[in-house]
Amino acid sequence: MDFKVIFKERFLDDLQRIVSRIAIHNPIAARKLGENIIQRGESLSFFPERFPKIRQRPGIRRFIVKKNFKVFYRVELNSQTVEILRCWDGRQGSDLTV
């Protein structure tokens, strides 16, 4: 059974900020990274619980793209949805609230 994937506004803002920052130096790499992150998020429509939970944040899971970019999401089994919550560049520190 497929889940519906919802990209939350904060995630989209995060992704836009990351892609814009990279595009200053390499627009092609920025576009590819953005597309890769979106595709990985969309792939959560099938088996969304495949990535680990975060101990400090119950109900939140995470996957990593290209070693540095962490994507946080929540699976809602009752509504069969996956909410993509945040995207974080791990090189920017740890001041992320999910």
Give per-residue pLDDT as tens, 58-92.
Answer: 899 999 999 999 999 999 999 999 999 999 998 77
| pLDDT at residue 98 tops 70 | no
Determine the pLDDT at residue 97.
Answer: 62
**61 exposure class (CB count in 10 Å sphere: 0-12, 13-18, 19+):** buried
Alpha carbon distance 88, 18 (integer Å): 8
Question: Residue 1's pLDDT is what?
Answer: 64
